[in-house]
């Protein structure tokens, strides 16, 4: 459990630093996620934190409209859950199978913090380099998704209204850096 909490904390620290570095005039910058601007990226991350709490009957405090404050509030609740073995160890049915709340946080929110951290960095001109260990871990898990499951991940609405997990794959050269290949696999153009 500590590994999951530690990974979440590390990813949340990096994401929060990116959110805090966004200038007020950059929140409407378009992001690599089609139809989203920089603020939408953070809003999505906050909403996903809330989804992780549903299996234990918890929810996030109301948002206040400030991306830094809203992210910190969501983060605090998820860290509270991860610190409690009874809460984080509860099992729940998820779109990808039965798992503990901690496992779902790890596979969804913690990974989203890395990938959407890139989106936020790209939208706001920040450092886009992901931790190579995270890239390797995410590449291993994402490239192992069976084609039929990957197709559902790319189908808008397959996991709920307005939910699209990955966009259409973007072709990148086979000899491209692993980060670029990961981004292409999930539907981002690392060279755009």
Residues sharing a CB contact under 8 Å with residue 55, sequence separation 6 or more, in sequence order: 90, 92, 101, 104
User: Do 39 and 88 lie in a common domain?
Assistant: yes
pLDDT per position as a tens digit, 98-114:
999 999 999 999 999 99
| Number of separate domains in the chain | 2
User: Do 54 and 143 lie in a common domain?
Assistant: no
Domain boundary among 91, 111, 127: 127
* DSSP state string for 46-64: HHHHHHHHGGGT--PPPP-
User: Do 26 and 97 lie in a common domain?
Assistant: yes
User: Do 3 and 58 lie in a common domain?
Assistant: yes
User: Do 3 and 68 lie in a common domain?
Assistant: yes
| Helix H or strand E segment including 18 | helix 2-21
**Residue 185 domain boundaries:** 129-192
User: Do 114 and 144 lie in a common domain?
Assistant: no
Confidence at residue 124, expressed as pLDDT on a 0 to 100 scale: 98
How far apart CA 133 and CA 121 sit, in angstroms, is 18
Mean pLDDT value across the chain: 94
User: Do 28 and 75 lie in a common domain?
Assistant: yes
User: Do 123 and 148 lie in a common domain?
Assistant: no
User: Do 16 and 106 lie in a common domain?
Assistant: yes
Q: What confidence category does residue 187 fall into, taking pLDDT thresholds of 50, 70 and 90?
A: very high
User: Do 160 and 101 lie in a common domain?
Assistant: no
- CA distances to 14, 26, 102, 121 from 125, rounded to whole Å, are 15, 9, 32, 6
Asked if pLDDT for residue 162 goes beyond 90, the answer is no
Angle (CA) 176-137-139 rounded to 5° is 40
- Which CATH number does the domain housing residue 110 bear? 1.20.120.450
User: Do 54 and 148 lie in a common domain?
Assistant: no
* Structure-token match 């559902």, residue found: 152
């Amino acid at each position: 459990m500590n590994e999951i909490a530690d990974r979440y904390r590390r990813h949340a620290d990096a994401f929060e630093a990116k959110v805090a570095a966004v200038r007020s005039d950059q929140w409407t910058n378009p992001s690599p996620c089609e139809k989203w601007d920089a603020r939408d990226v953070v809003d999505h991350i906050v909403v996903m934190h809330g989804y992780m709490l549903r299996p234990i009957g918890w929810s996030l405090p109301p948002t206040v409209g400030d991306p830094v404050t809203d992210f910190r509030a969501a983060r605090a609740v998820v860290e509270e859950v991860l610190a409690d073995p009874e809460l984080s160890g509860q099992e729940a049915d998820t779109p990808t199978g039965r798992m503990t709340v901690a496992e779902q946080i790890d596979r969804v929110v913690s990974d989203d913090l890395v990938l959407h951290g890139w989106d936020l960095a790209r939208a706001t001109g920040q450092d886009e380099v992901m931790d190579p260990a995270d890239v390797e871990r995410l590449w291993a898990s994402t490239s192992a998704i069976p084609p039929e499951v990957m197709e559902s991940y790319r189908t808008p609405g397959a996991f709920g209204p307005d939910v699209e997990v990955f966009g259409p794959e973007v072709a990148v050269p086979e000899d491209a850096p692993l980060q670029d290949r990961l981004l292409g696999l999930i539907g981002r153009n690392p060279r755009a």
